[in-house]
Structure 1
């Protein structure tokens, strides 16, 4: 069977489904119209979605790392997290919070935490759905749970993660954060709310809604955006102006031709290896500079 053609309109419809108000039925109806048939839509939908079977670039039992599930004190109660260290580190290391997408702490984000650890950091991936019982296996349920969050709660839990990592055994006292999609927006808000954050990297993350909040940012920021991501990119200019007006240290990269979630290599339709590899190199170089 010939591989189905995936168009930008299909990718945009999926983005609307996963981030805005389009429900599953509405998404499949639109995809059927775009694909030409229900059968074609059924074949294309899994290619747009993330496939957890493709998650691991670094195996969970890789001998180069030490990984464990932990809890740390959050804003209102204990938060579950996935903590990963290099197995044979020499000296104290910078720490990085890895903030998940709106699917919760899934296998892909655990794998990203392992990748961060292999670069010479202590990596902590919090499960910001801990207060709701933890990340469910059903991604639609996870997205629904996150959409109903009190926005202050995950920020408080991320701020608590900074405090936890500041004094963690083997750490050098410097803490950065990297987040993707919803997690990218959380990095921006963490920078607003954690004056002791040492570096923030936001992948296609929503910008702070209140420009005045930007004045509270102390951490240098690295901001990755996808050229085709019109929904998120609509806020870039206002964010840059607020950062400039408040004399903040930041760098913006826009990856032309790339879609929202271009770093997520479990999504066949949206993953862009060239953009992902370049953004990752820039991310690791930035974190090593700021947290070393």
Structure 2
């Protein structure tokens, strides 16, 4: 399977759009729950990747955030010399499960200090709930973006003070819910170096907890973000993807979006049937290249 070049024009995006188009905000409002639901599939042990921790220092810790104890998982090279570049890894709606931990170990083997915080810890534990609607209603909908931004700031500071992180090199990557957060954090933290957002929602109706969406902050990014999206994602309309790319171009941003035409939502999630090996591997290579180009 050959991946297309990064899409950057209206014509490129139009070639991938379905013939029948729906109103952009209406589509997101009615199908966002369905988009999450499509990502909930039985575990496929045959495709699940397990990255060894040999040569790494891994573990769990807690970070004090305004009197609360934020749980995190971290992974870093065991005997690294000098300060380590830091990557914040942002979960899906399902919390910091083994796949997210494995992503941290993959990054650690590439020389990064990776930190994955449990960003729903105040609202509840997604692993205790059995259906996605319950997770969204009982937990995700109650998590304020401002709270998430503050927690990520605390993780970045902790990575430097407690784990030998480089105060001058900070990146972020996130999946699904975490992909949306990646775009927002790039507009929040002026010290960010780079970001990679995997199929994160781009638009939606504003609310008290989610007053802005990535489409609204295209001209406010402090660091370049690479967006990785699936052309067959039923929860994120390609109209949104196109409009986000156009907004980035209008803002003169170095950020860009890459679309895999045949990929569904959660194509990187190797623990369920949505996984697409070719696209996931290509996306991972793009992530590593994106970060490496900002370490030069």
* Residue 218 of structure 1: how far off its partner (Å): 1.1
Residue 170 of structure 2 aligns to a residue whose secondary structure is strand
1:35 is aligned to none
Question: Which residue of structure 1 aligns with residue 270 of structure 2?
Answer: 265
Aligned length in residues: 254
1:79-109 residue CA offsets vs partner (Å, 9 max, x unmatched): 1100111123233221101101011111111
Matches within 5 A, 1:38-187: 49-51=41-43, 55-59=48-52, 62-74=53-65, 77-138=68-129, 140=131, 141-143=134-136, 144-173=138-167, 174-187=169-182
Task: Specify the alignment match of 1:30 in structure 2.
Answer: none
User: CA contact under 8 A between 1:177 and 1:187: conserved in structure 2?
Assistant: yes
Please give the per-residue CA displacement for 1:58-96, whole angstroms capped at 9, x wherever unaligned: 14xx22211110112446733110011112323322110
Relative to structure 1, the CA distance from residue 111 to residue 181 in structure 2 (aligned partners, 3 Å threshold; closer, same or farther) is: same
The within-5 A match list for 1:167-246 is 167-173=161-167, 174-207=169-202, 209=213, 211-232=215-236, 233-246=238-251
Verify the 8 A CA contact 1:75 1:156 in the aligned structure 2: no
> What whole-Å deviation, never above 9, does each CA across 1:30-54 have from its counterpart, x for those lacking one?
xxxxxxxxxxxxxxx9x96142856
- Paired residues of 1:64 and 1:87 also in contact (CA < 8 A): yes
Taking structure 1 as reference, are residues 76 and 274 closer, same or farther at Cα in structure 2, changes over 3 Å only?
farther
How big is the alpha-carbon RMSD for the aligned residues of Structure 1 and Structure 2?
3.0
| SS of equivalent to 1:165 | helix
3-state SS of the aligned residue for 1:117? helix
> Which ranges of structure 2 fall in alignment gaps of 5 or more residues?
1-28, 203-211
Aligned mates of 1:58, 1:267 — CA distance in 2: 17
More contact order relative to length (CA 8 Å, sep ≥ 6): 2
Structure 1 regions of 5+ residues with no counterpart? 1-15, 28-44
How high is the TM-score relative to the length of structure 2? Answer: 0.76
2:144 & 2:124 partners in 1: Cα distance?
16
